[in-house]
Amino acid sequence: MHMVVLTKGVPDFREGQVSFDEDGHLERGKTPTVMNPNDRFALEAALQTRVRHGGRVSVMSMGPPGYKEVLREAMETVYADDLHLVSDREMAAADTWATAITLSAGIETLGEPDVVFAGFKTADGETGHTGPQTNWCLDMPLVTHVISLDIDEGAGTLRAKRLVEGDIEEIETVETELPAFVVADPEFEPSYRTAGERLTLKDLREETRARAENYEEHLTVRDHADINVDPDYIGLDGSPTIVSSVDPIPKAPAEREATMVDPDDAGAMQDVLTAMQSAVGDGDGDAAAAGGD
């Protein structure tokens, strides 16, 4: 089995602030980059497949050279065999469609994988479009929002449970043939049923430790000519959408005059307590407060 997992570096929203340049594009330089948290589930799905069926896992990302670190992180998560970065100034400021065209061309340079995995939304764009759109370029059977996955290698089929939402929530079971494209849901749970699988997992982890230390030896960087895409159809040039403005969330006018309370001021805190008790309002609160005097 050959699996390709897509990942992306995103600003680490836990630290500092996100900033934008004057054209409204995210300024990545000012925020540390980490692997997109949702991609972990795609990596987990690929890892589970590899543990059960063996084979090779390739991880691919599109982004600036600094994303190498993200790929290293991905290698450690999924015990990947090889890493691939498509990176080129021509690819900068791509929206999801231009990204999908680029990534699909990148994947095609890796041959014909049996399964391509992508995560759901990225923490920065939060669109959820890139996986499905990349798949549309590759024209593989697509299964999205996958929360569990079973592959029958002999029969060449894939069965998955997927999450459907709307006015009601449903779990669907779907089946398709390989090769296929899987978008993992953040609720994806890998499962390692047998001791043999858990042993394989352990061996893979050991093996990867050494590989990750010299991860750059396993990394291939490709530009637009390497993946044979036209600069007019990638990056900003190939992007239908632009960000026209980014506004701070507007500050709502004050609607209530808050009583400021110092938590060390017992009297003031007693007032809050009384207000809380009388808010639930069955009379008990007042009685209790009175009883406390």
Partner 1 sequence: MTDFDPGDYEISELGPAIKDIDDLGELEEILQAEHRGQNRAPAIALIESRIEKFSEDDEEPADADGLDLASMSTAAVGNALQSVEEVSELESLLEREEAGEDRDPVTRLIRNRIDSVKGSDEEDTEIEVDDRTPEERHPDLDHPTRDKRHVRSLHGGTYRDMWVYCETQAGELVDVSKEMLGKARELMDTYNDDYTTDERVVAVLIGADVSKHVEDVIAYGADVVVVREDARLERFQHKPYTEIFCDMARAGATHQNFEVTDGRDEPWRDYDKPRYVLFPATNNGRDLSALVQAELDSGLASDCSGLYITEEVISNPVKTGVAGEKKEFQRVLHMKRPDFSGFEYSTILCIDNPTREFHPQGASVIPGSFDVPEPDHEREGLVVEHDAPLDDDWFRVTVTDYDRLDEGIDLTGHEVIVAVGRGIGDDPTKGIELALDLADQFEDAEVGVTRGIVTGSFNFDGHVEQYTHEDRQIGETGQVVAPKLYVAAGISGAVQHKVGMDESDTIVAVNTDPDARIRDFSDYFIEGDLFEVLPRLTTALKEGRFEAAVASDGGRAASTPPAGTPDDGAGAGAAADDRGESR
User: Between residue 203 and residue 242, which ones bind partner 1 under the rule CB under 8 A?
Assistant: 224-225, 228-234, 236-237, 239-242
Element (H, E) at 250: none
DSSP code of residue 67: G
* Shortest Cβ 197–partner 1 spacing (Å): 22
**C-alpha angle 178/184/185, rounded to 5°?**
145
Q: Interface with partner 1 by CB under 8 A: which range of 42-50, 148-156, 211-219, 267-275?
A: 267-275
For 227, the 3-state DSSP assignment is coil
Task: Count residues binding partner 1 (CB under 8 A).
Answer: 107
As beta bridge partners, residue 213 has none
Give the whole-angstrom CA distance, residue 198 versus residue 217. Answer: 28
**Which residue, 163 or 201, has its beta carbon nearer to partner 1?**
163
Choice from 154, 214, 217, 245 touching partner 1 (CB under 8 A): 245
Residue positions counted in the chain = 293
* Shortest Cβ 207–partner 1 spacing (Å): 27
Choice from 13, 54, 152, 189 touching partner 1 (CB under 8 A): 13
Q: Binding to partner 1 (CB under 8 A): which residues in 34-73? A: 37
* Shortest Cβ 275–partner 1 spacing (Å): 6
Is the bond into 179 cis (omega within 30 degrees of 0)? yes
For 12, the 3-state DSSP assignment is coil
Residues 135-163 as b/e (b if ≥16 CB within 10 A, e otherwise) read bbbbebebbbbbbbbebeeeeeebebbbb
Structure tokens at 238: 């190939």
* Shortest Cβ 154–partner 1 spacing (Å): 19
Choice from 2, 18, 150, 197 touching partner 1 (CB under 8 A): 18
Question: What sign does the dihedral 73-74-80-85 (CA atoms) show?
Answer: negative
Give the whole-angstrom CA distance, residue 48 versus residue 200. Answer: 10
Choice from 97, 117, 188, 215 touching partner 1 (CB under 8 A): 97
22 forms part of the interface with partner 1 (CB under 8 A): no
Structure tokens at 181: 């494209």
253 forms part of the interface with partner 1 (CB under 8 A): yes
Q: Interface with partner 1 by CB under 8 A: which range of 110-118, 191-199, 205-213, 268-276?
A: 268-276
99 forms part of the interface with partner 1 (CB under 8 A): no
**Which residue, 190 or 211, has its beta carbon nearer to partner 1?**
190
**Which residue, 43 or 142, has its beta carbon nearer to partner 1?**
142
* Shortest Cβ 282–partner 1 spacing (Å): 8
Q: Interface with partner 1 by CB under 8 A: which range of 74-82, 198-206, 214-222, 279-287?
A: 279-287
- Exposed (0-12), middle (13-18) or buried (19+): which is 123, by Cβ within 10 Å? middle
**Which residue, 65 or 154, has its beta carbon nearer to partner 1?**
65
Give the whole-angstrom CA distance, residue 107 versus residue 3. Answer: 10
Q: Binding to partner 1 (CB under 8 A): which residues in 155-194? A: 159, 163-177
- Exposed (0-12), middle (13-18) or buried (19+): which is 93, by Cβ within 10 Å? middle
* Shortest Cβ 149–partner 1 spacing (Å): 14
**Which residue, 96 or 208, has its beta carbon nearer to partner 1?**
96
